[in-house]
Chain A
Amino acid sequence: MANLVLPDAVLVKNYISGDESALASLIERHQSKIYGFIYSKVNDRDLSDDIFQDTFIKVIKTLKTKSYNEEGKFLPWVMRIAHNLVVDHFRKAKKMPFQRETEEYSIFNYMTDNAPTIESQMITEQVEVDLTRLLDELPDDQKEVLVMRMYQDLSFKEIAELTGVSINTALGRMRYALLNLRKIIEKNQIILTN
């Protein structure tokens, strides 16, 4: 329990020193972001589990061989490993990495709606569908930043490190993404109400 309040860097140090519970704490703390990131790319639960597992096997091996040297940046480091494994997967499979909606998976299956009525559910779903379509109109770099920020809840620092750009560039892309979304909404007179 005490591990939950320790910074990542301390947990990493403890783990390297032999405290196995520190690894459990690190996984518990970051599993949602890392798994969510992987799942957002591959849209497959089993594959996401495989890549999540491979990611942490690399993490464990690196930490156990004491070759980890990015103290204080544990999450971005793990996310970069996960990102590279996702890229490797798509290289092997020769598939496009951004295939969000499939027959088997829809993001709406995983949404919770506090409004109990069918009508409000239908309205909400329609708004989300419209919004998803609007997102598809954005340039890929802007869409990527917006999705990472709004859907995956990553910080701009994390987004910058994952996309290989500066924080200012990531912020700029977010700004232009929102401006472009508003332009599209105004141009097409789309009404998004909830």
Chain B
Amino acid sequence: MAKLYSKKKLAPQMILPKKETISFLLNYSKALSTYKVGNVSIEIIAN
């Protein structure tokens, strides 16, 4: 088999989002509530 010159270590695999971003998303998810009234969807963010 031909030699493969492109190695996986080239991939920026360890580039991850900031912890603050993940933390924000998890907190946002916990704070978000959605309700459907008829065809209208209402979003409520808890403080």
Kindly state the separation between the CA atoms of A110 and B41 in the bound complex, as whole angstroms. Answer: 43
Contact assessment for A107 and B12 in the assembled complex, using a CB-CB cutoff below 8 Å: yes
Contact assessment for B17 and A57 in the assembled complex, using a CB-CB cutoff below 8 Å: no
Kindly state the separation between the CA atoms of A40 and B11 in the bound complex, as whole angstroms. Answer: 10
Contacts from A to B (Cβ < 8 Å):
20, 23-24, 27, 31-32, 35-36, 39-40, 45, 48-49, 52-53, 56-57, 60-61, 64-65, 107, 110-113, 127-128, 131, 150-153, 182, 192, 194
Determine the chain A residues whose CB is within 8 A of the CB of B14 once the complex forms.
32, 110, 112
* 20 residue pairs bridging A and B, Cβ less than 8 Å apart: A20-B30, A27-B22, A27-B26, A32-B14, A32-B16, A35-B16, A36-B12, A40-B12, A48-B17, A49-B17, A53-B21, A60-B32, A61-B32, A61-B34, A110-B14, A111-B9, A151-B6, A151-B12, A153-B11, A153-B13
Determine the chain B residues whose CB is within 8 A of the CB of A127 once the complex forms.
5
Determine the chain B residues whose CB is within 8 A of the CB of A152 once the complex forms.
11
Determine the chain A residues whose CB is within 8 A of the CB of B24 once the complex forms.
53
Kindly state the separation between the CA atoms of A110 and B12 in the bound complex, as whole angstroms. Answer: 6
Contacts from B to A (Cβ < 8 Å):
2, 5-6, 8-18, 21-22, 24-26, 28-30, 32-34, 36, 41, 43
Q: List 6 tightest A-B contacts by C-beta distance, closest first.
A: A64-B34, A150-B6, A110-B12, A52-B17, A35-B17, A56-B25
Kindly state the separation between the CA atoms of A120 and B13 in the bound complex, as whole angstroms. Answer: 22
Contact assessment for B26 and A23 in the assembled complex, using a CB-CB cutoff below 8 Å: yes
Determine the chain B residues whose CB is within 8 A of the CB of A32 once the complex forms.
13-16
Question: Nearest-CB distance from B41 to chain A (Å)?
Answer: 5
Kindly state the separation between the CA atoms of A127 and B9 in the bound complex, as whole angstroms. Answer: 13
Contact assessment for B30 and A153 in the assembled complex, using a CB-CB cutoff below 8 Å: no
Question: Nearest-CB distance from A134 to chain B (Å)?
Answer: 9
